[in-house]
Structures are given as C-alpha cells and as structure tokens.
Chains A and B, each alone.
Chain A
Amino acid sequence: MNKVMKAADMVASLRDGMTVGIGGWGPRRKPMALIREILRSDLKDLTLVAYGGADVGMLCAAGKVKKVVFAFVSLDFIPLEPYFRQARQQGAIETLEIDEGMMLLGLRAAAWGCPFIPTQVGLGTDVLNVNPELKVVDSPYDDKEWLAMPALQLDAALIHVDRADNRGVCQIKGADHYMDDWFARAATKTYVSCDELVDSDYFTPEQEARFVFWERSQTTGVIPIAGGAHPSSCSPFYGFDVPHFKEYAASAKEGGFNTYVDKYINGKSEADYQALVGGIDSIKQLPLAVY
C-alpha cells in the first residue's frame, strides 16, 4: 500500500466543521506546511484539539476555527500566542479549556473506544464551571466524585515526523514525541508530513524501529515535505525560527495577519514559502533551543 500523497490531497479529504487534532507542542514539531495548505483552502468551522502554538493562532486569525480545545496556546519564548489571544479577546471562538493531562486522557479515551476516563484533575477549579459539557460522576468503588473526561474523538489528526516510509511507518527521533501517538490513535484519519521519506529497510535496526510510536495502520497519508515543520522545530534536524516567530508576532501588533499571510502563504506554494524564509538549507541550520 502506497500512502504517499500531496498536502492538497489531505485538504481535499477534510470537510467544514470537522474536529482536527494537531500534534506537536507549542512551537515544537508542528505540521506547519499542512496548516499552510489549510490556510490556502476554503475550509472553515473547524474544531481544533492541540497543545497549541502558531498552528492554532494562524487558523484562528484566518477565520477557520469554530472552537478550540486547549490547555495552552503558546510559542514558549513568546509566552502568549498573539492571534489566539486576539481571537479570545474578540470573543470570536468557542472553547473547551482543560488541563494538559485531561487532553491526554481525552485522546486516550477516543483511542480506546471509551466514552470517558475518570480523573480528579479539574475538580475544584473553574475548568468545570466554564465548560458545562464536562460532567462529574460517582464512583462505584469509593465515595468520591470524579471528573469524566470525555473522549476527544478526532475526524483527522495532522502530525509532522522526522521520517516515514510510503506505507506509513513514522519515526520521531527528537527527544519527545509529545502526545502524537495518541493523536494518531484518536483520529479516524491521520495525515503525517515528514522531513524525510525513507525505504522501509531504514527501520530494520532496533535503534531505528524503537522510535516508531504507532503502527502504520494508524497512518492514513504520508506527505513528504522537508522542512515542513518550519517555523516550528523538528529536533534533531532544526530548531524553531526565532526571528520568523518574532515577525509573525509583531504582525499582530502592526499590520495584522494579512501582512503575514500575504507575504508568506496566500498565492504561494510551499516551495515559494521556503524560498522566502531562506531555503531548506537555512531551515536545517536553525539552532535547537536550549531549555
């Protein structure tokens, strides 16, 4: 089975109103080339589920988002994502604001076919009050109440990985694969962009196979785009692009999202985008962040 496709094929399979999970974490290993392809499309009314960064900010700024399921939206070194912030402060989006761990539980519940997973996380806080859709349940085994974290069923998951083969074996060699395996498992369809498309034999050595975190049956499509996480990082290949994120954040203060999106995305191919940001060689030179 050959799952290699183009980003446009991925967008064509999505529909207005879908729930889309996005892998990565803040400014780290986000499938930004796939996000750019959505920005070029007519898709709208999406519900996003993400440990959010510029992926969420850009889609909000472009008016593609109905609702965001989030615990944070942040660029790390720029703590507050500028366009998510604008969307919230304009009251433009619905929200389900939950704890980071609750999101993990919601993805696991979806992956495992459970309607919910009980947790104490969120009890005693406004997470319950501002989200009437979250319920508490009594336990059959003790006298406590538990928050019933509902399954976060995803119509699609978008993930960026280091390497994949054409059958959908995906490898993440960076230090953390975040919750990407759970995004893949929680989704009906999982589209994965990769920095390198490799032969299946690449995964033969144990030290390579060990960094494959889900089975290929969880991967619907493989979209080879070297540098496809830019401006987010894809460790160990490249770090996130600090000057680019600064320019992006500055556009929120002056000029607005159109100045950014017209310069880099609208009417431009991914090749045009990469040329505008200095080319793939300079992307691969971006230093890894020091934490």
Chain B
Amino acid sequence: MSEFATDYSLAELLICANAAAYDDDGEILVTGIGVLPRIAASLAMKTSNLDIMMTDSEAWLLAEPNPVGQRPDDFIQKNETWMGFSRIFDNVWSGCRHITGGPTQMDCFGQSNISCLGGSYEQPKVQMLGARGFPGNSISHANSFLIPSHNTRVFVEGECDMVCTIGYNPARLPKGHQLADVDLRMVLTNLCVMDFGGPDFQMRVVSLHPGVNIDEVTQNTGFELCIPDTIPVTVGPTKAQLSVIAQLDPHDLRSRQLKDNPPGVRI
C-alpha cells in the first residue's frame, strides 16, 4: 500500500473515490462520462481492477486507457476491437457495463435528469441534452453518478422534472420487475460519497470529504438521507494514485473541472 498523499485537490479525491466504485466489477466495460469520471475509470483499469474494459470514447475498445486531451503525434492507441456506437448497445443490453454519469437533477429515488428543466414538457424553460442513453443504461447495468455541485437545485425535493433513469421508485416499477433489479451504486459529490444502502434503497451517506460537516450535506439535499451513526472520512489519494493520475491526465485537465479547483482537504 502506497503512502497517502497530504496535498491533493478535490478533483483528485473524486477521481480516486470514483475509481473505487469499480473494485468488485470484474471484467466489464466501464464508461466514465466527462473528464473526472473518465480519468477515474482509467485509474481503476491501471491500478485496482486490471480486468476492466474501456473505449476511446469514439469507436475502439482499448487494451490501455488513452490519456485525456491532445496526445503526441507519435502516440499509438492500443486497440483491442472495434466498438462503434451500434455495438455499444449490444454491450449495454448484455448488462456487462458500469457507467458513471453526471446528471443535472437527482431525486430521492435515485432517478436522474439530463433532458430538460422547468416549464412544461411541451415547452421547457431550459432544454438540455435529451435523455441520451440514460434510460437504457439505468435499466440494463450498474450506474454511478459524479455530481460536482451538491445543492437543492440538483438533489431536488420531489421527482426530477423529466425522469430519464429508472430508480428505486415503487410507483414507477414496471410489471414483473423488482426494485432490487435496479443497480444504482455510488453517488459522488463535492461534499460526500453516497449509495442506496439505506432502508428501502434510501440514499445513504457513506463518507464525508475531509473537513465537510454532515449538516452541510443535509442542508443542501432536497430530501431526507439515511445518516449512519458514524460516518467515515472519504479516503484520500495515495501518492502512487496521484502519480498514475498525472500520467493519465498530462495536461492537468482535472484542475479545470471544478470551480476554482478546490483542495481535497477543506481549510
């Protein structure tokens, strides 16, 4: 076990915590959507779960993760097989995948939204991306979420404006399905790590980032969380992890993902 680092950013803390989500996944396709989740998936593939598969975010399955950002002209991508978008669905529907995405809203059932906000569905106040692959991801395989701004506009009271993913909502459970069929894993925010391990799949605080108080989490969440009696501090990066992260992100894109690139330990 490498020595723990003392000086690290919140982005690096989240990368390491996100990577840990894949520890017990075995040989599956991991997709991290966005810079931090992608570095996290790459870190896991390089260090903690060597069996992971991942793509180049374009059309190839890789034997080695690509560093993020511009790569040198002589860089040779280590392809393993063709993995165009149509074939991604063959993998998704087989269930052999774990994704970390970043929704704009999440509710107490773990349902999430990337489609549109406010107004009516016919005329939303803010049109966003559309449901993309979220409905299929959520019902087909494991799903984690990295949400960098923990507040009540994101973790909403009531249901999401447009529910793009199936969650632990008995009222929406399709006939013949069980809530336990839904596989929502880890929710990472700028404040804490959560999962759905509370009673009846209630969202539960798993760890608080260094220096974060539980009251800050509850005040910034629009629904009731399961709060265990003792909550550990989120495990920080090791020096070895930081060194691998630096190789996977040579242009330090990670420092530009969170506003003002805050330190991992609150001052």
Contact = CB atoms under 8 A, between A and B. Distances in A.
A291 B58 contact: yes
B51 to A, nearest CB: 23
Interface in B155-178: 162-167, 169, 172-177
B221 to A, nearest CB: 22
Contact of A89 (B125, B130, B182): B125
Interface in B173-194: 173-177, 182
A145 B174 contact: yes
Given A89-B125, A89-B127, A176-B85, A290 B70 contact: yes
Interface in A160-200: 175-179, 182
A67 B85 CA distance: 25
- Size category of the binding interface on chain A: 35 or more
A120 B130 contact: no
A17 interface: no
B133 A101 contact: yes
A25 B92 CA distance: 19
B206 to A, nearest CB: 24
Contacts of A99: 131-136
B115 interface: yes
A121 B86 CA distance: 15
Contacts of B175: 136, 138, 143-145
Interface in A71-87: 71-74, 79-80, 84-85
A89 B123 contact: yes
A82 to B, nearest CB: 10
A100 interface: yes
A243 interface: no
Given A126-B164, A176-B58, A91 B123 contact: yes
A125 B164 contact: yes
Contacts of B139: 120-124
Contacts of A136: 174-175
A70 interface: yes
A71 B177 CA distance: 24
A97 B131 contact: yes
Range of interface residues on chain B? 35 or more
Contact of B163 (A102, A120, A125, A143): A125
A291 B58 CA distance: 7
A74 B126 CA distance: 14
B163 A175 contact: no
Give the one of A84, A121, A178 with max B CB within 10 A: A121
A88 B123 contact: yes
A116 B60 CA distance: 30
B10 interface: no
B140 A121 contact: yes
A79 B93 CA distance: 26
Contacts of A143: 175-176
B122 interface: yes
B34 to A, nearest CB: 11
Given A79-B129, A144-B175, A178 B134 contact: no
Given A85-B127, A121-B136, A121-B140, A178 B84 contact: yes
A252 interface: no
Nearest to A99: B135
A142 interface: yes
Nearest to A79: B129
A124 B128 contact: no
A276 interface: no
Interface in B208-234: none
B84 A100 contact: no
Contacts of A121: 93, 135-136, 139-140
B173 A72 contact: no
Nearest to A138: B175
A144 B89 CA distance: 21
B126 A89 contact: yes
Which 10 pairs show the lowest CB-CB distances between chains A and B? A144-B176, A124-B166, A91-B123, A175-B59, A88-B127, A72-B130, A121-B136, A176-B59, A123-B174, A176-B84
Given A73-B130, A74-B130, A120-B140, 12 more contacts: A91-B123, A97-B115, A99-B135, A101-B93, A121-B136, A123-B139, A125-B163, A127-B135, A129-B163, A175-B84, A176-B59, A179-B86
Interface of B: 56-60, 69-71, 82, 84-86, 89, 92-93, 111, 115-116, 119-136, 138-140, 162-167, 169, 172-177, 182
